[in-house]
């Protein structure tokens, strides 16, 4: 199985389920090990004297949120190669031949975990036979993870929506890089701590901005259930049209129920997501207007993918700054037009 990390070591029933998943993956690794020798590569050059390979260390990260975490912790000693870019849905993503080659050629792999990248699981198991493959959610306490009632047996993978909880992932990255490259342990630890301070500032901004929304308007309706951690962290009632995974389909009854909720509560805005088709949100808007009420699409949120690489919104901090600022302003709260650091692009906010 190599160094593939188990999912979060939660207690009770969740731990039992995760242990079963771990054993299943061990069995899968054994079966896969009997074939496809092209998936086997020499592991990273680490000896008793430490890392013996070239710098920067090449690390592959599955999604943007993980890649940004590794960039900040790894600093100048690590080059990050990102598999999924802007607008890509990780729930549905299947590895290409080029992706597999990237995974084989790197020294270490980081992924989010909690089955976010479900269709990549078999590839990650194979790659783990020769190098560290690390879930950044590994060191996030079980008490900070959500298990939705209508999704029993599966933890909600969208942890990055709670900035405070996601910041703990930096510790998992620092630990893994330090094990691979002990000579730079102090720098990895310092980088992780410095980044956590930046995230703590963002978390406080989220609480202040979203806390300014009038209490009767703190209802966030989005394309799918990616914002439950966001709602818990910042005091919002969250309603997703689809389930935790975009593989699930939204039924007509669910859309009608949300239309009724919007009409009853006077919700002023609903939101589309950058990595999810907007047809279901548009159906809700049409349904609300057919009942004689008006509603706006408040804007586009980043859920399972960040913004374009090179943009501020293409960083984790920029992604959450965008979401926090847009939701606060669209639902009647107070937040600077350009966000926490004055770096956001100007976005359309519906008139009050």
CB contact burial 265-290 (16+ within 10 A = b; e otherwise): eebbbbbbbbbbeeebbebbbebbee
Q: Is the pLDDT of residue 9 over 80?
A: no
Mean pLDDT calculated for residue range 265-274:
93
Residue 1's alpha-carbon distances to 31, 41, 185, 263, 280, in angstroms, are 11, 14, 25, 53, 41
The greatest distance separating any two alpha carbons of the chain, rounded to the nearest whole angstrom, comes to 72
The share of the chain scoring above pLDDT 70, in percent, equals: 81
∠ CA 162-210-327, rounded to 5°: 90
- What phi, psi does 66 have (nearest 5°)? -70, -45
Let me know if the fold of 12-203 is the same as that of 212-330: yes
Q: How far apart (Å, rounded) are the C-alpha atoms in residues 209 and 336?
A: 9
Parallel, antiparallel, or unpaired for β 57-61 and 108-111? parallel
What CATH class has 12-203?
A: alpha beta
Q: How far apart (Å, rounded) are the C-alpha atoms in residues 20 and 14?
A: 10
Least-confidence region, from 33-42, 88-97, 208-217: 33-42
Instruction: Compute the Cα dihedral for 340, 342, 348, 352 and give only its sign.
Output: positive
Domain boundaries, the chain: 12-203, 212-330
The per-residue pLDDT of the chain, averaged, comes to: 86
Distant-in-sequence, close-in-space partners of 298: CB < 8 Å, separation ≥ 6: 268, 269, 270, 271, 326, 327, 330, 331, 349, 350
Helix residue ranges, H only, the chain: 12-33, 64-74, 97-105, 121-127, 163-167, 169-180, 185-211, 228-234, 252-265, 279-290, 316-330
What is the structure's pLDDT at 35? Answer: 39
Entry pTM: 0.85
Q: Is the pLDDT of residue 13 over 90?
A: no
Mean pLDDT calculated for residue range 191-197:
98
Q: For domain 212-330, give the fold.
A: Rossmann fold (3.40.50)
């Amino acid at each position: 199985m190599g160094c593939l990390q188990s999912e979060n070591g939660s207690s009770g029933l969740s731990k039992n389920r995760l242990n079963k998943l771990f054993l299943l993956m061990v069995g899968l690794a054994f079966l896969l090990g009997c074939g496809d020798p092209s998936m086997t590569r020499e592991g990273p050059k680490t000896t008793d004297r430490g890392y013996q390979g070239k710098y920067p260390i090449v690390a592959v990260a599955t999604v943007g949120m993980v890649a940004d975490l590794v960039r900040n912790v790894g600093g100048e000693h690590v080059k990050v190669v990102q598999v999924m870019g802007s607008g890509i849905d990780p729930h549905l993503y299947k590895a290409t031949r080029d992706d597999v080659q990237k995974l084989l050629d790197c020294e270490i792999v980081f992924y989010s975990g909690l089955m976010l990248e479900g269709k990549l699981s078999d590839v990650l198991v194979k790659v783990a036979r020769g190098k560290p493959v690390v879930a950044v959610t590994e060191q996030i306490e079980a008490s900070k993870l959500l298990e939705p009632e209508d999704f029993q047996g599966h933890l909600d993978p969208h942890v990055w929506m709670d900035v405070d909880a996601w910041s703990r992932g930096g510790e998992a990255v620092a630990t893994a890089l330090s094990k691979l490259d002990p000579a730079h342990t102090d720098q990895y630890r310092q980088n992780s701590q410095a980044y956590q301070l930046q995230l703590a500032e963002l978390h406080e901004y989220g609480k202040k901005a979203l806390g300014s929304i009038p209490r009767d308007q703190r209802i966030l309706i989005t394309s799918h259930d990616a914002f439950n951690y966001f709602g818990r962290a910042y005091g919002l009632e969250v309603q997703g049209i689809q389930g935790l995974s975009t593989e699930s389909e939204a039924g007509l009854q669910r859309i009608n129920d949300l239309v009724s909720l919007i009409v009853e509560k006077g919700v002023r805005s609903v939101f589309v997501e950058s990595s999810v088709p907007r047809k279901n949100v548009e159906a809700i808007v049409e349904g609300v207007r057919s009942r004689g009420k008006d509603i706006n699409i408040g804007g586009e949120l980043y859920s399972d993918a960040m913004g374009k690489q090179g943009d501020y919104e293409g960083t984790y901090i920029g992604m959450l700054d965008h979401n926090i600022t847009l939701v606060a302003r669209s639902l009647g709260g107070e937040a600077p037009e350009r966000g926490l650091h004055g770096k956001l692009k100007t976005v359309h906010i519906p008139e009050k």
